[in-house]
Structure 1
C-alpha cells in the first residue's frame, strides 16, 4: 500500500494545494483518471469542512492499493458527527457532504483518543469503472 501524509495549517487557502498534491500523487502512483478526479473532489470537500469547522493543525492522509483510494482528514477540533443540511437552490455552500456521499464508496467520522476527529473515506472503482457503494450508517465509524 502506498501512502502519504501532509500536515497543514487550518487555512481555506490550503485547499487548492491539497487538490494539487492529491492529484499529482495519485497520478504518479498510476491511479485511474476517473478515480483521481473523484478523490480530488472528495478531499476538496472534506478539507474545506475541516478548515472551516475544525482546529489546526489539519493532517491529510492518502492511501492507494491499486484498487482502492482512501483518505483521512484529521483535525484537533471537537468531535461531532457531521450532518448534511438542506440547502436552497440559490445557496453557494452546504453541499459538500452530499458530494462526498455520492462519490465515495463509504465514509465516516470517528473520535481520536488524543482528541479531535478523523473524517475518512474509501473509493473503490469496479473493473467497469463504476463506483462500488456501501450504504452509510450516519457516517459514524466505530
Structure 2
C-alpha cells in the first residue's frame, strides 16, 4: 500500500505548453510593417516569449513584404504560430514571382541586409509557395520563456 502512495505523491509530469496563434492582415506600407512589428511584439510579450531577436525578424520580414511584396489593393498577412518555446513567424504577400534572396550589399548601401539579419537571428528560415499568386517567407526562433 505504501508503494501506491509514493507513486501517487510523485510530482505530476509537466503538461506541454499549448499551441498559440496570432494573425494580422496589414496594408503593404511602411505603416503596415510598423504595425506588424508593434502588435506581434505585444502578442509575444503577452505569451511570455518576447525577445529582441523575434522583434527584429518580424520587423525585417514585414518590411520586406511592404517593400518587395507590395501589390496595389492587396494586403500582406503576418502569422505567429507558437509551439512550446518556438515561435514561427510567417509573412505572406501576393508577389510569388519575387522570391527573396539574401544579398551582400556594399558598405555604402543603406538597405539590402534584411534577410542576412533574419538568417543570423533565426534558427531556420525559408520560403514556401502558396496558391498563386502568394508566397510565404517564414522564420523559426527558439525563445526562452519569460517569468
Contiguous gaps of at least 5 residues in structure 2: 1-18
Q: Structure 1 residue 46 and structure 2 residue 64: aligned?
A: no
CA RMSD of aligned residues (A): 1.7
Contact 1:11 1:51 in 2 (8 A): yes
SS at match of 2:106: coil
Give 4+ residue runs of structure 1 displaced > 2 Å after superposition.
78-81
SS at match of 1:124: coil
Contiguous gaps of at least 5 residues in structure 1: 128-142
2:40 to 18, 22, 26: 22
Task: Return the alpha-carbon distance in structure 2 between the equivalents of residues 13 and 103 of structure 1.
Answer: 24
Equivalent residues in 2 for 1:82-101 (5 A)? 82-101=100-119
Q: How many residues align?
A: 124
Equivalent residues in 2 for 1:90-129 (5 A)? 90-125=108-143
Deviation, 1:10, is 0.9
TM-score, normalised by the number of residues in structure 2: 0.77
TM-score, normalised by the number of residues in structure 1: 0.80
